[in-house]
Amino acid sequence: MSRRRLPALAALALAALALAAGACGGTAVKPPPRSPLADTASPAAGTPAPTAGVAPSPGASPTLGGRPAVADVEGATALAIDALAEWLGIPATQLSRIVAEPVTWANACMEIDVPGRVCAQVLTPGYRVRLRDAFDGAHEVRMAAAGAMQWAGEAAADGVVRAVDATARRVLFDGSGASRELRIVPGTRWELGGASMGGLAALAVGDRVRVRYDPMPGGQQPPVAALVAKLGPAP
């Protein structure tokens, strides 16, 4: 190649580089990648948009504390059946409705009296649902419209624990002039001074208790304990 052609080729190469730079906006510097957290573009089709902080639409049943708010009597009945089946440890198909009705409770504890429990004295709209099991036993579930639920217990008594059988999950106590044996089930609520206590293992012979329980018709089985509140040791 002759020396006269080298400057011409160099000039052509420089011209080509200049055209390429102009087509790319005059710079070859690549912008840094954006953080995905800063991306405000609309989500792709089929991807749900985030809902955090978005108020529920009118008529929706929001979730409060992990439990849906109750919209009507039918919804209250369905929630009560599911909850009581879990508490009793039985299939939901063994439960049927006796009555379900809207009520306004006199306090936030839905009028379930437990020593040491502090209840806000506010009118609390909600529902009363009474259910029947396969042995014809009745059980009452009380709930607030906001979704809180408690097993009420058909009867209540104060007494002193005489025996605890952790294997058979039975408690024998004397109270109101009689001895009663109670069955302990998964949903039995345990309280000490209004706070949750450690269940059957925290109960000892000689403890004073208040129990709320559901009698079983015909004496087919011992009553089932809805709540055991420990009041303290026997005097």
pLDDT digits (tens, 9 = 90+) for 194-203: 777 788 888 9
Strand partners, 63: 68
Interatomic CA distance for residues 184 and 206, integer angstroms: 18
Q: Which residues of 34-64 are buried (b: 16+ CB within 10 A; e: fewer)?
A: eeeeeeeeeeeeeeeeeeeeeeeeeeeeeee
Where is pLDDT greater, at 32 or 193? 193
Beta strands (DSSP E) in the chain are: 63-64, 67-68, 96-105, 124-132, 138-144, 149-151, 155-165, 170-175, 178-183, 189-192, 195-196, 207-214, 224-233
The full set of domains in the chain, from first to last, is: 64-151 (no CATH), 155-233 (2.40.50.320)
Q: Is the alpha carbon torsion for 139, 113, 188, 171 positive or negative?
A: negative
Where is pLDDT greater, at 9 or 233? 233
Interatomic CA distance for residues 216 and 228, integer angstroms: 17
Q: What is the mean pLDDT of the chain?
A: 76
Where is pLDDT greater, at 134 or 16? 134
Per-residue pLDDT averaged across 214-219, rounded?
87
Interatomic CA distance for residues 182 and 210, integer angstroms: 12
pLDDT digits (tens, 9 = 90+) for 103-159: 999 999 999 988 888 899 999 999 999 999 999 999 999 999 988 999 999 999 999
Kindly tell me if the per-residue pLDDT of 12 is higher than 90.
no
**DSSP annotation string for 165-182:** ETTTTEEEEEETTEEEEE
* Residue 157 falls in which region: left (phi positive, over 0), alpha (psi -120 to 50) or beta: beta
Interatomic CA distance for residues 191 and 115, integer angstroms: 9
Per-residue pLDDT averaged across 156-169, rounded?
94
Residue 112 CB partners (closer than 8 Å, separation 6+): 142, 150, 152, 153, 212, 227
